[in-house]
Each structure stands twice: as C-alpha cells, then as structure tokens.
Amino acid sequence: MSDLRDLYQEVILDHSKNPRNFRKCETANRTAVGYNPLCGDKMTLFLTVENGIVTDASFQGSGCAISTASASMMTESLKGKTEKEADELFQQFQNMVTAPMDQEPDTEALGKLRVFAGVREFPARVKCASLAWHTLEAAIHGESDEPVSTE
Amino acid sequence: MTTSQIIKQNQTGAFDVEIVRKDFPLLKRMVHGKPLVYLDNAATSQKPLSVIEAIDRYYSEENANIHRGVHWLSERATEAYENARARIARYINAAKPQEVIITRGTTESINLVAFSWGWKNLRDGDEVLISAMEHHSNIVPWQMICARTGAKLRVIPVSDNGEILLYEYRNLLNPKTRIVAVTHVSNVLGTVNPVSEMIQWAHENGSLFLLDGAQSIPHMDANMRELDCDFFAFSGHKLFGPTGIGVLYGKFALLDEMDPYQGGGDMIRSVTFEKTIYNSVPHKFEAGTPHIAGGIGLGEAIAYLEKLNRHAAEIHETNLLHYGESLLRQIPGVRIIGNAKEKAGAISFLMDGVHPHDIGTILDQEGIAIRTGHHCCQPLMERFGIPATARASLAFYNSREDLDALAEALGKVRDIFH
Ligand SMILES: Cc1ncc(COP(=O)(O)O)c(C=O)c1O
C-alpha cells in the first residue's frame, strides 16, 4: 500500500503553505502559463534569462499542495542554471515521477527535488507534480501563446 | 436482496439500507485495504446484480441485431429492447413509448435537441436561455448551434446560496427566447430548481423547455406529464444502469416535426440516391445499431427501482444529506458550497488551506471515493470564485456509516495539513 507520508513530506507541506518566489516578475523575459484542466490548477511562470543563464524565476497561480510545492522548489533550484541544465533537470524530474515502481531512476542532479519521488506511487497526482516543469519547458522553448496543458 | 425481500420491504414501508446494499456487488469490495465507501454517485452509480445478470443473459442467450432480422433470435432481441423502451416510458410517465428516444446519455440527448430542433428552428437574433449552474453538456451544444444559426446564448444568474434567481429569469424571458435549457438538480451544488414554475413561465412566454434530468431522476420522481417539460434528458449509468445508454424524452408532436441529425441504418423508411424518407419517431433519431445490451440493462435498472419503496428511499436520502451536512459543518474550516433550501444528492465543500485535490487523495487512501475538481461546471466555479470543490454525492444505498467515515477521514486531512 502506498503511504501518504511519501507524498506529503514535511518539505512539500512547508513549500505548499509558504511557497517561495511566489510573485509576479515585471522584468521577466520568458513567461508561460500552465494549466491542468482536470483540477483547474493554473500557474504563470516568470523567468529572467541573461546570457543563457536563469537569473530569476518566480510563479503565481493557484493549485494543490503538490503542484504549488513543486513550482516553489523548482523556481528555487533554477537560479544560476543554464537553459541546458534546466532542460536536464526537467528530464530527470519527469523520469523520477513516471518511472515504473521496480526501477531506480537516475536522480543525481535533482538534489532536494528528490522529495517528489513519492508521487509515482500516486499516478493520479503525477500531473500535479509536473505542471510547473511543463510550464518551464514552454517558457524556455515555446513560441505559442496558448497555455500548456497537462492533458 | 431478492425480489421477494424487496416486496416484503415495500409492504412494511420500511427502508433497510443494509438489505439494499446486498444487491450491489461492488459495494462489498475493499480499496487500499479498507472497505469501500462510495460517495461519487453523481459521477456514476453502482449497478445491482439484476442489471449485471440481465446484460450477461442478453449476451449469453439473446444476442442478435434488432429491427432487422426475421430470425427467432433477432425477434427476441428486438422484443427485449422495445420492452425496455416501454418500461422507461412508463417509469417517467410519458404519453407513449415513442416519446422515449434511446441515446448514449444525457450529453447525446442534449446534442440531439440542439442540432435537430435548433438547426431547424433557431434564427439570427433568437435566444437560448440556460442557467449559470449548467454542466458543460448543457452549455457547449447550445454554443455550437448558436454559432451556426446566429442565435444568442443568455444565462440566468445564480445566488450566493446556489439558487436560480427567479426574478432575473422572468426578466430574461422575452419574445425572442425560443428555448430554455436548465438542469433539474445541480451536480455541484445539489440545488433542486423550482422547475414546475420555470416550465410554466417558459410556456406562457411561448418558449420550449428542456430539462437536464441527469442528477434528478436518480433521487426523485420524474413524471413527464406532470412536469410538462418539452424535453427531458438523462443517463442510464447514473440511474443504476450501464454506461453508454441514456434517454431523450420529447413530446411526440415536437419530435414528429423535427428532422434527424444523424443518418444511417434503421432511421430510414426508404432510400434512393435521390431521396430518403425517414422512419417514424423514435426510430428516425436512432441511426445505426444501438447499444442493445445497454438498453436492456437500463430497463432492468428501472425494474429494480420499481420494486424499491421509492418513497422510503427518498426520505432515507434526504435524511442522509442533512446528516452529512451537519457532520461537515462541525469540522473547523469546512465550508459547504451550495446552500439552497431544496437540495438533493450532492454536498460540495471546501476546507481552509487544503486544495480539494489533496483532500481527494487522502480520502482515497481511506477507501473513500469522492470527486474533486470543477465537475464539468467551469463557469459555475468562476461564479463562486473557486477553482474546484470536493464533492460527496449520495445514492439510496449509502448509509450513515459512509458519512461518518467521510467526517473521520476529513479529520485526518486536517492532521496532515495543520
Ligand atoms: C447535470 C448533468 N448534466 C449532464 C451530465 C452529462 O452526463 P453524461 O456524461 O452521462 O452524458 C452530467 C454528468 O456528469 C450531469 O451531472
């Protein structure tokens, strides 16, 4: 049986109640809107990228504990990373939350973000954890104004 | 419960939920090592054994295409299907079986009216009137047909309690209003709308009235000749029958005037490349091979309901709803969304500082099934300024213990988040 404590770890609860970098950024040069139609979660991500390096990341929106904490911790981990490093983080995060239960995915680069490993025991919540990350991908690579959707 | 048990119960007038629960095999199962507490009936209901057996029997003993064969099996299948139609017609007190069109569900029923009736009758400048508490399936088909015909979609607002504002409704009705399409019971708020009055006003105004009965017929009488609505839509799967089957009731004279919006087999009388003559009502609206087993299953679900003491079941459900609401009100930080005077079936709620989605996951670990999200009512969520709700929804086979389990599990949610 899956354990709720794997999902709602202290760090996750803390970030969901007190999200970091929860603000609008007027000077951001990359923004994207992410939307999870299933639960109505919506977030806007603001990135400032200078010379290929993320110098600021923040977000706004409403969501469940998992998606809020994920966005909060993601923005913390992005600062100082190159766009390429951000892409790699996205890949590792995606692998971690979607890997089959009998596999140990590579989480080397993820550091603190490893607390989200428990999400894969709760398939219905994987989209909550990855909403911020899909929004990040859209902000870095996207040209479309359409919100990215987890559906 | 066997038929004889139900009859015995009817005779005494009592309603014993423990006996009724035995008829629903799925209610016995365990989820995450806990006994299932099923409080997601507004999404879909569980099925009594008699329905499951009827479907099994159809495929084991009677399967054939209907309205097409001269062989014995086809006649048997046709008879079973048409008997189901007649039974549905009787249950909803339609004037005749032809007034029952068998569809895929509420959604298809509403689309049928929007596209068959709407395409023929709506003109530039006409108005279609819906309410702010409609399910997407009673919004989007009207938007689609309005876009094609130039008609305008107008919306009756809802009060903070979750009731339709009747004086606004009165003001919105005008000579251009061709049809009013409103839900009988809200799947989010549980509000029972004052539809008798609303239908009468519409008729006085010369407008037709479509009633979305998806959430009403599982909880209360749906008497077509008494309600006097022009169309009534519902889904089999919310009425203890199979998925993929539903009903559009329509007054015969209206149906007779309407053209079909789907063409194919079974809906024609004769076809040449120059001209096709449509079959009669209801067959002209039932193109193609239908969900025969589904129709038979729905007929059996209604047979089950006919044997139940519906009056006692209704009282039981009303008591449960009040009990559930009083339990939730005692939990600090819980707020009920939808406080209409008349409610049935659903309790939507929010908990301070906890997103409904997180409530849903934690309850699921306790074996409790509720729904969280916007419930296909995004405009209503916007009206209340909330992204989502948690919703517990009832059927007559729910018990006080189910609601006790819900309240206790909500305590655990608080423990995790506070
Ligand atoms: C009020 C209401 N109308 C329409 C529908 C659509 O029913 P179905 O999906 O069975 O077609 C629902 C079901 O969720 C409903 O609650």
Residues A86-100 pLDDT 10s = 999 999 999 999 988
Report the alpha-carbon distance of residue B143 to residue A66 in Å, rounded.
35
Question: What angle, 0 to 180 degrees and rounded to 10, lies between the N-to-C axes of helices A65-78 and A126-141?
Answer: 40
Q: Percent of chain B at pLDDT above 70?
A: 97
pLDDT of residue B8: 46
The partner residues of B222 in beta bridges, in order of sequence, read none
For residue range B372-394, list pLDDT tens digits in order.
Answer: 998 999 999 999 999 899 999 99
pLDDT of residue A145: 60
For residue range B111-162, list pLDDT tens digits in order.
Answer: 999 999 999 999 999 999 999 999 999 999 999 999 999 999 999 999 999 9
Q: Please tell me if the CB atom of residue B183 comes closer than 6 angstroms to any atom of ligand 1.
A: yes
B4: confidence class by pLDDT, cuts 50, 70, 90: very low
Q: Would the CA dihedral through B235, B239, B243, B246 be positive or negative?
A: negative
Q: Which CATH number fits domain B53-306: 1.20.950.20, 3.10.20.30, 3.40.605.10, 3.40.640.10?
A: 3.40.640.10
pLDDT of residue A148: 75
Of the candidate ranges A115-124, B357-366, B388-397, the one whose mean pLDDT is the lowest: A115-124
Ligand 1 centroid distance, CA of B135 (Å): 7
Q: How many residues are present in chain A?
A: 151
Chain B CA closest to residue A4:
B362
**DSSP at A110:** G
Q: Percent of chain A at pLDDT above 70?
A: 95
Q: How many domains does chain A have?
A: 1
Contacting residues of A for B378, CB less than 8 Å apart: 40
Chain A CA closest to residue B382:
A40
Facing A39 at nearest CB: one of B362, B373, B416? B373
State mean pLDDT over A43-67: 94
Residue A39 in contact with partner chain B when CB distance is under 8 A: yes
State mean pLDDT over B265-294: 91
Q: Which residue has the tokens 């299933």?
A: A38
Ligand 1 centroid distance, CA of B112 (Å): 15
Nearest CA-CA partner of A43 in A143, A127, A141? A127
Nearest CA-CA partner of B45 in B346, B365, B248? B346
pLDDT greater than 80 at residue A40: no
Contacting residues of B for A64, CB less than 8 Å apart: 355-358
Q: Whose CA is nearest to atom 12 of ligand 1?
A: B214
pLDDT greater than 70 at residue A151: no
Q: Are strands B231-235 and B37-38 parallel, antiparallel or unpaired?
A: unpaired
pLDDT of residue B131: 98
pLDDT greater than 80 at residue B69: no
Nearest CA-CA partner of B164 in B338, B387, B345? B338
pLDDT of residue A109: 84
Residue range(s) in chain B whose domain bears CATH number 3.40.640.10: 53-306
**DSSP at A99:** S
B93: confidence class by pLDDT, cuts 50, 70, 90: very high
Contacting residues of A for B33, CB less than 8 Å apart: 1
Cα B110 to Cα B194, B245, B260, distances in angstroms: 20, 13, 13
Whether the Cβ atoms of residue B9 and residue B15 lie closer than 8 Å to each other? yes
Atom index in ligand 1 nearest the CA of residue B235 equals 10
Nearest CA-CA partner of B162 in B343, B284, B407, B28? B343
Q: Which residue has the tokens 């209901």?
A: B45
**DSSP at A43:** E
B13: confidence class by pLDDT, cuts 50, 70, 90: low
Domain containing residue A53: CATH number:
3.90.1010.10
Classify residue A73: in a domain, yes or no: yes
Classify residue A148: in a domain, yes or no: no
B3-43+309-417: CATH homologous superfamily?
A: Aspartate Aminotransferase, domain 1 (3.90.1150.10)
pLDDT greater than 50 at residue B7: no
Classify residue A29: in a domain, yes or no: yes
Residue A115 C-alpha, separation from nearest chain B C-alpha, in angstroms: 17
How much is the pTM? 0.93
B11: confidence class by pLDDT, cuts 50, 70, 90: very low
State mean pLDDT over B309-318: 95
User: What are the φ/ψ torsions at residue A96 (nearest 5 degrees)?
Assistant: -65, -45
Q: For chain B, give the mean pLDDT.
A: 94
Residue A17 in contact with partner chain B when CB distance is under 8 A: yes
The partner residues of B177 in beta bridges, in order of sequence, read B127
Q: For chain A, give the mean pLDDT.
A: 90
What is the token pair recorded at B59? 């495929």
Q: Which residue has the tokens 């929007």?
A: B114
Report the alpha-carbon distance of residue A129 to residue A134 in Å, rounded.
10
Residue A81 C-alpha, separation from nearest chain B C-alpha, in angstroms: 31
Whether the Cβ atoms of residue B400 and residue B322 lie closer than 8 Å to each other? no
Report the alpha-carbon distance of residue B205 to residue B243 in Å, rounded.
37
A150: confidence class by pLDDT, cuts 50, 70, 90: low
State mean pLDDT over B238-252: 98
pLDDT greater than 50 at residue B1: no
State mean pLDDT over B91-116: 98
Classify residue A149: in a domain, yes or no: no
User: What are the φ/ψ torsions at residue B289 (nearest 5 degrees)?
Assistant: -70, 125
For residue range A58-78, list pLDDT tens digits in order.
Answer: 999 989 999 999 999 999 999
